[in-house]
Structure 1
Amino acid sequence: MRSSSLRVRLLLYLSISMVIVVLSLGFILANSIYLQNVGYLRFQEEHYFQEVQTHLAEVQGPLEKYLTDRSSSALTRLLFLLETIREKIPPVRPIRSDATYLMKREVYFLIDAYLAQVNQIIELKRGRKVIEYIDSYNELSRLYTHISSEIDQVSLRGFRVQLEEYRSFLELFRRIQYQNLLLVIVATAFAYSLLMQMVNSITRPMLQLSQLAAQLSDGKFDLPDLHFASINEVERVAEAFNHMKRSIYHYIEELQKQKEMEQQVMTERVRNLRMEQLLKRMELYTMQAQMNPHFLFNTLNTGVQLAIVENAERTAEFMEKLAALFRYNIRGKRLFVPVRHELEGLKLYYAILQVRFPKTLRLVLDIDESRLDGVDCPAMILQPLVENSVLHAFKHTEGIGTITVLVKLEEPVLTLSVRDDGIGMAPALVGDLLSRHAHDHQPGPKVMGLENVIQRCYFFYPGQEDVIDIRTESGKGTEVIIRINTRVEPCIEL
């Protein structure tokens, strides 16, 4: 009990206050509901006579239409209204001394006469007794006017009676409201005094704790221990504060030691990061230095054959383009180049391919060069993809092989695509190519250029999951798609 005294006190004080308030509000609500029910019953009687009067008024329209047109729909509507009025009129009407009730009883008999008169008019209409039903209709109109006047008198008398009753009810309700308001004020004041005692028993010790904590934050650790003879929870807080004060000094010493150790660790970590950056640069240069020697050997062999069988002018042109391509591939060892420079190198490469494959290879460039100014891409990224298609896509095929290169910029994404209509790739090979490799991975000899491009894309943009994709279908070709977010800086310093 003592260990939870704060909670118990709060619950007890709040419960007492809430019970008093709820009882007072419940009493007010009960009286309000009672008065509402009385008023509802009174107005329900008045509403009843208003409905009867409305139905009587509705009878006039169908009756006139039936008398003039002999309409069957009007007769049906008329009979329905008559039956509705009969159901609303009480069949038993005992005699009482209440004047208001006697007026209502008289209205009931008048309505009975009205309904009987309507039935008589219907029978006269069916018997085609024109003069009789016209006289009856005129008498019915006078009876309707009299009934309406009587209903108004009943409503007026009922309203006056209700007005007197409501005055008594309102006076009673007003007295009850004053009493309950006084009860709520007393209950609220009582609860407020209890809560203030509880708050003071908590805030006074906490104020002293905050003052000592401020001195402790200034570096004063020789403060006396705190002891409070109040609520148990506050005493536990004081004990925890005393323990904290004694432990802070030891913690400061430990923090100093940890700070020195962390400084050493950070120094070692910086050294390791520099080593890792150096390894990454070495890996990048290694990937860029990889070239497929088959293309170089085949190209030189073609140049020799041309020198033998053709004139020296064509051989000179071929060798000039070959030299220009070699110069482009090895210039500056830049990691990134403008997209226009990459396209120039690709065009030189294709010019040489046309000599080797004049009738079996076609290159289609789908490029919007007007939007490529100021846009960079990794160096040597398109030529290896075209070379991979030339070497592997058209094996065991006949006819002209088509390679389509697409370059487009849709801010902020630069899309580079190389698509061929060759034999396609095996799904297992595609999965192996798209996997991220470790530093010591050795690329396969058949797709070394493509694998080099994929791993360089992963290296430059490690946070972009869709930087490269391969779409292939057996017998229909392969498409390699590279997406570069031009707003994202590559992971290495250019």
Structure 2
Amino acid sequence: MKNRKRRDLSYRTKLTSFFLLATAITIIVGLYNYISSRMLMEDMTDLLNKSQELTALYKEVDEIQNDLEVYLSTRSSESLQSFYNHSNSISSDNDILKQDAEYSDRGVRIMNLTGMIEHYLKTLDETIVDKRNRKISDYTKGYQQAVKEYNFIGSYIKEIMSSDLSDSAQRYQEIQTEANNSTVLSYTMFGISFALILVIIVLFSYEITRPITKLSSYAKEVSEGNFEVDITEEGTSSEIRVLYRAFSKMTKSIREYINELKEKERLERVLIQEKYDNLKMKNALHEAELLALQSQVNPHFIFNSINIGAKVAMLQGDSVTCEYLENFADIFRYNLKGLDYNATLSEEVNNVSSYMSLLTTRFGDFVTFHMDIPEDPDILEFKMPRMTLQPLTENAYIHGISKLEEGGRIELKVIKEKGRVVIEVSNSGDHFPKEAIERILGRSKKVEKSHGQKGHTTGIGMDNVLKRLRLFYDKKDVMNIVSKDGVTKVILLLPINNKREVDNNQYENAI
């Protein structure tokens, strides 16, 4: 648990701890150097101060002795004032020496010296008093005693200073040795602290760089496409652990996303293949159906057309016969192209024109035909299933005009409106029952098998035309039938932009 807690420390905490440790080591080394130097300096200062105190004391004693001699000789007030000043100064220095005296050989000497000085100052005071009282014999004896004590004090001070000098030389050597030892120890502590800090820096750097280097190797493998890399978590700190976990989670997410993309791509390929197979099957079925419809060309129509052409050739001139046979040849040739070949509206209109020419030639004024086709390239080049308009005009004749005794009129009209082409085939004749319209348009659930509205020329009925249009345009509402006031209209509502054709092109380009 303790190790776990240590591993959870952040790099900020570790850096702060390292900085504080390095600072503490530096402060300890600096304090040691400062204290050692301070102690050595204090020792040296103490030696100098002791020597200086004795020197100053000796000088004061010499000056006060000189003041005494001047006063005894001249009775000068200035020398007397100087005497008392020096006396006070010597007393003060003597008290300091007495307080600082230690229980040592030098301390005993200092105590003796302070006693001598006190007695010397007392002798001087008494001599001054005798001088002022004009006691010549007394102050003469006092002066002689003062000279003796002065000489003795001077000798004693010199002896102490000589001993101090000898002790100072020895102490100086000791201080020098201590200073050298302190310097060596300081350098040693500095070296140890520097080595310790360096080791800590190296270990800390390794602790930081090792997991990062390992994480970068994982990142390199992932960048090369290996998303199955096994990421082992390095928990040297909370920050590194977060990085490892985030990278592992990111890698796992990318791996799952790539697997999803691969699976989606596989399913799309399967779906496209299924669509392609279904389209091929549907095209094959449509082709079979269209070929079956194409094969139902009524042979009686061909026979009757040729027979009429022969009779016309006998009764009329060659020009009429030629025109009739050319129209018949155009129709026959148009049928032979097959229903799987899409045509333009212009081609469909020409085929209807040829067919109606045959009818008007055969039945004369019994049938009249009128076309209203605008000269618009978008309309004339409009794509539509082959054999769409001719079966409608044929049904208009068979189920409309042929039942009338006086004949009738068939019209073909084309207009363009709101993104679509509207084709209207109308005929005069009997009323078209509403039930039949519902059955043809598929709006009624009731289906009569016998009801096909087939044409006798092509065998293609309106239900087949409607089925082909819905399949071609992928749209249900492509036809409408209106019958009223003795006129029946078959209206085709065909979109200009054929969605089925666009989807087929996109699908073929994708494949």
TM-score, with length taken from structure 2: 0.42
- Give the TM-score taking structure 1 as reference length: 0.43
Structure 1 or 2, whichever has the larger Rg, is 2
